[in-house]
Amino acid sequence: MKNRVIVLFLAVLLIGTGILTANGKSDGAAAEGNGLITVGYAQVGAESDWRTANTESFKSTFVEANGYKLIFDDAQQKQENQIKAIRNFIQQDVDYIVVAPVVETGWETVLGEAKAAGIPVILSDRMMDVSDDSLYVAWVGGNFLKEGQDSVVWLNDYLKKTGRDNEKINCVLLQGTIGSSAQVGRTKGITEGLAKNSNYNLLAKQTGEFTQAKGQEVMESFLKAYDNIDVVFAENDNMAFGAIDAIKAVGKVPGKDIIIVSFDAVHEAFNRMIAGEINADVECNPLHGPRVAEIIQMLEAGKSVDKIMYVKEGVFDQFNAKEIMPTRKY
Amino acid sequence: MSDTLSLIKSKGRALVGQRLFLPLFALFLVLIVNVIKTPAFFNISIQNGVLYGYIIDIINRSSELVILAVGMTLVIATGGIDISVGAVSALSAAVCVRLLGSSYDNYATPMVLAILAALAIGMICGAFNGLLVSKLRIQAMVATLILFTAGRGVAQLISAREIGGKMVPGQIIYVRMESFKGIGGFLPKVIVPTPVFIAAAVVLIFYLVLTRTALGLYIKTVGINSRAGRLVGINSTFIMFLGYVLCGLTASMAGVISSSRIYSSDANNIGLNMELDAILAVALGGNSMAGGKFSLAGSVIGAITIQALTTSLYAMGVTADQLPVYKAVVVVLIVSIQSEELKRWISARGGKKA
Domain at A54, CATH number: 3.40.50.2300
CA terminus-to-terminus distance, chain A: 51
Residue with more model confidence, B350 or B106: B106
Burial of B181-219, coded b for 16+ CB within 10 Å and e otherwise, reads: bebbbbeeeeeebbbbebbbebbeebeeebeeeebbebb
B40-317 has CATH 1.10.3470 classification: yes
* A4 has a chain B CB within 8 A of its CB: no
Give yes or no: residues A29 and A80 share one domain.
Answer: yes
pLDDT at A4 over 80: no
For testing the chain B interface, which of A217, A237, A244, A248 should be mutated: the one with the most B CBs within 10 Å?
Answer: A217
Same domain, A47 and A169: no
Q: Are A134 and A38 within one domain?
A: yes
Q: What is the CB neighbour count within 10 angstroms for residue B51? A: 19
For B310-328, the pLDDT digits (tens) are: 999 999 999 988 988 999 9
**A216 to chain B nearest CA, in Å?**
9
Domain of A122 in residue numbering reads as 23-141+286-312
Per-residue pLDDT, A81: 92
Which of A178, A209, A250 lies at the smallest CB-CB distance from B47?
Answer: A250
Given this model, what pLDDT does residue A21 score? 44
| Angle, alpha carbons B125-B127-B130 (nearest 5°) | 115
CB contact under 8 A, B48 and A251: yes
Residues A255 and A295 in one domain: no
What's the mean pLDDT when you consider all of chain A?
A: 89
Calpha distance B246→B263 (Å, rounded):
25
Question: Domains in chain A: how many in total?
Answer: 2
Whether A330 is in a domain gets the answer no
C-alpha pair distances (Å), B211 with each of A88, A222, A272: 65, 42, 50
Q: What is the pLDDT of residue A23?
A: 43
Task: Give chain B's mean pLDDT.
Answer: 92
Interchain pair B138, A5: CB under 8 A: yes
Percent of all residues in chain B with a pLDDT value above 90, rounded to a whole number: 75
| pLDDT at residue A201 is higher than 50 | yes
**HEC readout, chain B:** CHHHHHHHHHHHHHHHHCCCHHHHHHHHHHHHHHHHHCHHHHCCEEECCEEECHHHHHHHHCHHHHHHHHHHHHHHHCCCCCCCHHHHHHHHHHHHHHHHCCCCCCCCCCHHHHHHHHHHHHHHHHHHHHHHHHHCCCCHHHHHHHHHHHHHHHHHHHCCEEECCEEECCCCEECCCHHHHHCCCCCCCCCCCHHHHHHHHHHHHHHHHHHHCCHHHHHHHHHHCHHHHHHCCCCHHHHHHHHHHHHHHHHHHHHHHHHHHCCEECCCCCCCCHHHHHHHHHHHCCCCCCCCCCCHHHHHHHHHHHHHHHHHHHHHCCCCCCHHHHHHHHHHHHHHHCCHHHHHHHHHHHHHHC
pLDDT grade, residue A30 (50/70/90)? very low
Residue of B nearest to A51 (CA): B168
Residue A59 pLDDT exceeds 80: yes
In this prediction, residues A145-159 reach a mean pLDDT of 96
Compute CA distances B1 → A321, B5, B68, whole Å: 78, 6, 48
pLDDT tens, residue by residue, B141-181: 999 999 999 999 999 999 988 776 677 787 889 999 999 99
List of chain A residues whose C-beta atoms are within 8 Å of the C-beta of residue B169: 46
Distance, CA of B304 to CA of B195 (rounded, Å)? 13
Q: Does residue A10 sit within a domain? A: no
Is ipTM > 0.85 here?
A: yes
pLDDT tens per residue across span B59-110:
999 999 999 999 999 999 999 999 999 999 999 999 999 999 999 999 999 9
Percentage with pLDDT > 70 across chain B: 95
Tell me, yes or no, whether A28 and A46 share the same domain: yes
Question: Which candidate from B50, B61, B269 shows the least CB-CB separation from A217?
Answer: B61
Tens-place pLDDT, residues B269-296: 999 999 999 999 999 999 999 999 999 9
**Does residue A93 form part of some domain?**
yes
What is the pLDDT averaged over residues A152-167?
A: 95
Same domain, A87 and A185: no
Q: What is the pLDDT of residues B197-234, one digit of tens each?
A: 999 999 999 999 999 999 999 999 999 998 999 999 99
Q: Name the domain boundary from A284, A300, A321.
A: A284
**Interface A:B, Cβ pairs < 8 A:** 86
Q: Do residue A176 and residue A277 come from a single domain? A: yes
Which residues from A are below 8 Å from B62, CB to CB? none
**Residues of B contacting chain A (CB within 8 angstroms):** 38, 40, 47-48, 50, 52-54, 57, 61, 136-138, 146, 163-164, 168-172, 174, 258, 261-262, 264, 266, 269-270, 311, 314-315, 317, 319-321, 323
B264/A49 CB distance under 8 A? no
Q: Within this chain, do residues A28 and A119 fall inside the same structural domain, yes or no?
A: yes
CA dihedral A138, A139, A144, A150 (to 10 degrees): 50
Handedness of CA B306, B307, B312, B314 (dihedral sign): positive
Identify the band that residue A29 occupies on the pLDDT scale cut at 50, 70 and 90: very low
Say if residue B165 is exposed, middle or buried (CB neighbours under 10 Å; 0-12, 13-18, 19+): exposed
In this structure, the answer to whether residues A113 and A63 fall within a common structural domain is yes
